[in-house]
Amino acid sequence: MSDKPNLDILLCAPRGFCAGVDRAIQIVDLALKKYGAPVYVRHEIVHNKYVVDGLRAKGAIFVEELDEIPEGTEAPVIFSAHGVAKSVPAEARHRNMFHLDATCPLVTKVHVEAQRHAEQGHDIILIGHKGHPEVIGTMGQLPPGSITLIETVEDAEAFEPRDPDNLALVTQTTLSVDDTSAIVLVLRSRFPSIAIPKKEDICYATTNRQEAVKVVAPQVDAMIVVGAPNSSNSMRLVEVGERAGCPISVLVQRADDIDWSLFANIGSLGITAGASAPEALVEEVIDAFAERFAVKVEIAVTAEENIAFNIPRILRELEAAGSR
Ligand code: SF4
């Protein structure tokens, strides 16, 4: 019999990679196969160091801006899953760069919504986090000043629009469902005619991962979110765990980061992973717990996901040939 203490692990499902992240990584992988190294990637393709380091080792070069890419290169440049402002592909065209767009189709949908609202003459509000690449990309779909960013309920209460009867709303895809509802409630009560998306802009993956944590967190002594500190959806999962009443809810990038003093006296643990965290890191964390505890792993399924997005046509041949 093991002398290790028992630990019941409840593994959230769904967790980890979403369809948009999976597609973005495939695009870089297939571009490396088709065009050879290097390929340039503007911004972290997805917010995960393990993924970025893996692609870097295969020949991807990550840059923050296009002007870091040598003039006249024939190597492709790939835009990240978070989406980019219109000025970025325009600059790529101006510099005759061959570019591939790995923007998640659900982010592109928000870009299209914002443009449609602008064509209809609405003043647009974006709920999101200042400085996040997705927010920069969405605001950059329209001329400066066209979109007002609202981050909090307080912002929504203080907002003074030019025309209160002519407003439309879009949101970042990776927000807290509950925080966003509270902001929308304020805006709707202050501006009853505001045009609000029929279906939330918060994506299916963000919603499903938060719902899973809401179910698991109240049943366990501690909750671990495998993910990156600059990943919005991972940080929201930590908050959801805290709010659901779990006394310990922490982000862990990988097993080496675990602060074991937090878990000395637990009997149960919930584990999930942000949409940009690979399953290998979840397994690494479970293995680390298995070295110290006699673990029993159970999967808590709260939703089924079977969404996949097409990759750009120019790379599809390779995908069909199974060369990924
Ligand atoms: Fe797309 Fe949602 Fe994944 Fe972001 S989290 S890449 S919006 S599916």
In three state form, how does the secondary structure of 236-247 look? Answer: HHHHHHHHCCCC
* 44 within domain boundaries: yes
Q: How many Cα atoms sit within 13 Å of 313 on the Cβ side? A: 0
Can you give the pLDDT at residue 2? 73
> What is the model's pLDDT at position 318?
62
- State pTM to two decimals: 0.94
What pLDDT, on the 0 to 100 scale, is given for residue 116? 96
The pLDDT of residue 1? 63
Residues of the chain with pLDDT below 70 are 1, 318-324
Ligand 1 residue neighbourhood (C-beta within 6 Å): 18-21, 81, 104, 106-107, 173-174, 203, 205-206, 233, 275
Distance CA 43, CA 270 (A): 31
| Index of the ligand 1 atom closest to the CA of residue 105 | 1
Task: Indicate whether 77 and 58 sit together in one domain.
Answer: yes
Phi, psi values for residue 310, rounded to 5°:
-65, 145
SS3 268: strand
Q: For a substitution probing ligand 1, which of 107, 172, 201, 310 has the most ligand atoms within 8 Å of its CB?
A: 107
Distance in angstroms (rounded) separating the CA atoms of residues 81 and 43: 9
Give the separation between CA 99 and CA 41, rounded to whole angstroms: 9
Q: Which uninterrupted H or E stretch holds 135?
A: helix 133-139
pLDDT at 258: 98
Provide the pLDDT for residue 323: 45
Tens of pLDDT, residues 169-193: 999 999 999 999 999 999 999 999 9
Q: Does residue 112 fall inside a structural domain? A: yes
Q: Which residues share a beta bridge with 42? A: 63, 79
CATH number at residue 86: 3.40.50.11270
Would you state the structure tokens that stand for residue 205, as one six-digit string? 């993956």
The CATH number linked to 118 is: 3.40.1010.20
Q: Strand 294-301's sheet: what is its strand order?
A: 248-252, 222-226, 268-273, 6-13, 294-301
Do residues 89 and 101 make contact, with C-beta atoms less than 8 angstroms apart?
yes
Q: In this structure, what token pair is assigned to residue 73?
A: 């290169």
Task: Tell me which residue range forms the domain holding 51.
Answer: 19-104
* Ligand 1 geometric centre to CA of 19 (Å): 7
Last residue of a domain, one of 167, 190, 213: 190
Give the Å distance between the CA of 40 and the centre of ligand 1: 21
134 classed as catalytic:
yes
